[in-house]
Structure 1
Amino acid sequence: MLSAKSAEVVEATLPVVGAAIGDITPRFYDRLFAAHPELLRDLFNRGNQANGTQRQALAGSIAAFAGALIAHPDQRPDAMLARIAHKHVSVGIGNDQYRIVHEHLFAAIVDVLGEAVTPEVAAAWDEVYWLMANALIAVEDRLRAEAAGPDGDQADLWRPYTVLARYQETEDVTTYLVRPADGRPVPASRPGQYVSVRTELPDGARQIRQYSLSGAADGALRFTVKREAGGEVSGHLHDHLDTGDTVELAPPLGDITLAHGDGPVLLVSAGIGNTPMTAMLAHLADTGSTREVVSVHGDRDQLSHAFRADLAQLTAKLPNATAHVFYEHPLGDWPADRTGLVDLSTVGIPAGATAYLCGPLPFLRAVRGQLLAAGVPAADIHYEVFGPDLWLGA
């Protein structure tokens, strides 16, 4: 993959570049959006740009990819590439934009590091960039072709959907049932995937967000939205998207999906992270699965717990399933399974289980650590995080 000469240069300069990426990425985005303001208006998540999480995610992925090339020169970090590729396709990033990013990223590197960027250093990191970019382009082309289907348009995967119904799960969580407005079939999906929703905001921006599919429906898609504090898209959808309205969706995507097989399944979530887990549990129930299934969920209290009834009903449909719920602050006379944060030491983890995790990043770190300590192999632990994946670099 990476040439021997470039590998030596990248290994020698990785500490310097890595240490400076926190300065490079803001400079890069400032240059990029100055030259292409339409990208911030209609492609990049303005909220994540404002709070810096998208910039941290970019920094982590570049540094991690370079480090992987050095540590394992004969291997390609396919898991990392798949995660990024699904996100790119879901928001409509195209192949031509890699050249735009290259131009402004390398200009930012020179701005920050100055004379340290010798022609030799520039050439080595240029090789790293295009190895990553071309690998992503190949994966993204395949994903677009699969999403478009044999008769679809790979250049524009967005389609109008009609809202058939909306359900208020909790005070700040709403589920939407939507059907293609053009009469074409619903695109295929797998339990655990998400859809991208594009909506026009009052200032004319067309912002995109991803929301997990929360279950199957005949001839329709079902996705769930939590109203986030200060979330301009989630708030807009809650306040303005009603039955009979039309909304634009991209096809279902996402690399963390329920794998086929007969082995035990462990589903662990916190808060709104139970949306993909609900879809996985519904799929297992709908297919009459006899697999051993253990669901574990943590929430603030009973009222904030979306899909609380679904968890009980779906678990009851499965012959070898159990559910365990932890509430930090359980309410009064309501029954509470366990009090406090999720503690897997109090839950029986089936031998040979494949674990799927979803929730805030601190929760994911804590639960993954518990699973590793319990002897679950790292390869059998899969996670989905909402928003930029700040864990990717690790």
Structure 2
Amino acid sequence: MLSAASAPIVEATLPIVGAHLGAISGVFYDTMLAENPELRNLFSRSAQATGEQKNALAGAVAAYAAHLTGAGPDPRMFDHLVERIAQRHCALGIRAEQYTLVGRYLLGAVGTVLGNAVTPEIAAAWDEVYWLFATRLIGREARLYARADVDAGAPWQEHTVVTKVTEAHDTVSFVLAPADGAPAPAFRPGQYVTVAADLPDGTRQLRQYSLSQAPGHTLRITVRHVPGGAVSGYLHEHVSAGDTLRLSRPFGDLVLRDDDSPLVLVSAGVGITPMASMLDHVARSRPTREVVAVHADRSPDRHALRAELAASGARLRSFRSLTWYEESGVPGSRTGLVDPDAIPVPDDADVYLCGPVPFMAAVRAGLRGRGVSEDRIRYEVFGSEQWNTTPRAVPA
């Protein structure tokens, strides 16, 4: 909770700070990375180039300040936001001491952008906002690291590529086992790992990939080759069976509720990966659970894990599958974009979404319009939209 002295200052200045968050974030990142180039390995090159990384920070700061002043979303939704950030930070190996560095550059950027408008009182109030947020995240991340038995100073574990399997014309799966012969780490269906890829140019880049099969003796990630993608291109072109990859422990808050309620899995593109893990797990552990699987893709040759999901569904007592392809004339599928009104949603079903943000926003809006409650719709997204409490399309 903000102090009595800071609360009115933050409330009064929030619109001004919010209007300049893009510029503040730009100065913050440019200055911090220029003076600490080793931190570039923590951030996606593409996210930096497009400004996505800057938008991520802006969204987090605005959401937390609004939350503290009572102008933000429902507190339960904000709890989900904090959990999502903490899970992502742990997957990236963020350490508590790094918050001091970030805070110094962030608050310095506020002063640079707003100039003399930032009085000592305003600076102190926003410093309090930052450290309330940082303290909350540090505490949660410490608990997540402890639960995963991870040293934040050494978060990576060597894994051997057991097999590499082509799943679609631009998508491959990597089956991975700990290189030291230890058991594969436990995880909950829907979680992801970070791959710390040492690229041929000598740099390291971090990318998160959902685990695409149920927990077992190995881990599996399924990677679509993104045009121009540094890490996906490296994995496709340079990594084969017998090679090693550095992985984080599994993290992520989009996890399957392990009960008997009906389940609706809605995905697009490579967003099918956490759904494959969930469906595989349900088929093994709760085959009487009712499941509806909906997927959208450009064409059948880009539809990864299709046969596997069908095989998992065949082991269930009640399973319905609907597929939309943008290309027409594919027997047994629908043409165009997913129609939310055509998705079967059993009473009291849990709905999980994963795919491009505009896709999830459209499906969510359609399901909400049909009366599906907010707390029954859960989603996964990677990138700046992870800071939002609901998926939304980014304005052009």
**Shorter-chain TM-score: what band?**
over 0.9
C-alpha displacement at 1:117, in angstroms? Answer: 0.8
2:295 and 2:324 in contact (8 A); partners too: yes
C-alpha displacement at 1:116, in angstroms? Answer: 1.2
Q: TM-score, normalised by structure 2?
A: 0.95
Q: How does 1:34-73 map to 2 (within 5 A)?
A: 34-40=34-40, 42-71=41-70
1:173 and 1:224 in contact (8 A); partners too: yes
Structure 2: tracts of 5 or more residues without a match: 391-396
Given candidates 374, 379, 383, the residue that maps to 1:383 is 379
2:43 and 2:206 in contact (8 A); partners too: yes
Structure 1: distance between partners of 2:60 and 2:43: 17
Given candidates 335, 355, 360, the residue that maps to 1:359 is 355
C-alpha displacement at 1:75, in angstroms? Answer: 5.0
1:327 and 1:336 in contact (8 A); partners too: no
Structure 2: distance between partners of 1:133 and 1:153: 19
Q: How does 1:302-321 map to 2 (within 5 A)?
A: 302-321=300-319
2:56 and 2:383 in contact (8 A); partners too: no
Q: Which residue of 2 aligns with 1:23?
A: 23
- Which one is further off, 216-225 or 110-119? 216-225
1:360 and 1:386 in contact (8 A); partners too: no
Structure 1: distance between partners of 2:178 and 2:51: 35
Structure 2 CA distance for partners of 1:316 and 1:365, relative to 1, 3 Å: same
2:186 and 2:215 in contact (8 A); partners too: no
- Which one is further off, 383-392 or 73-82? 73-82
User: Deviations 1:28-60 (Å, cap 9, x if unpaired)?
Assistant: 0011011110001x2111111111111111101
Q: Which residue of 1 aligns with 2:292?
A: 294
Q: Which amino acid aligns with 2:347?
A: A
Q: Which residue of 1 aligns with 2:388?
A: 392
Q: Which residue of 2 aligns with 1:369?
A: 365
Structure 2 CA distance for partners of 1:164 and 1:206, relative to 1, 3 Å: same
Given candidates 243, 262, 281, the residue that maps to 1:264 is 262
Q: Which amino acid aligns with 1:5?
A: A
- Which one is further off, 46-55 or 2-11? 2-11
- Which one is further off, 71-80 or 286-295? 71-80
C-alpha displacement at 1:122, in angstroms? Answer: 1.0
Q: Which residue of 1 aligns with 2:86?
A: 85
C-alpha displacement at 1:68, in angstroms? Answer: 1.3
Is 1:125 aligned to 2:126, yes or no?
yes
Q: TM-score, normalised by structure 1?
A: 0.95
Structure 2 CA distance for partners of 1:94 and 1:153, relative to 1, 3 Å: closer
Q: Which residue of 2 aligns with 1:276?
A: 274
Name the SS of the counterpart of 1:176 in structure 2: strand
Structure 2 CA distance for partners of 1:197 and 1:135, relative to 1, 3 Å: same
- Flag as ranges the 4+ runs of structure 1 deviating above 6 A: none
C-alpha displacement at 1:389, in angstroms? Answer: 2.3
RMSD: 1.6
C-alpha displacement at 1:393, in angstroms? Answer: 6.0
Q: Which amino acid aligns with 2:98?
A: Q
Name the SS of the counterpart of 1:161 in structure 2: strand
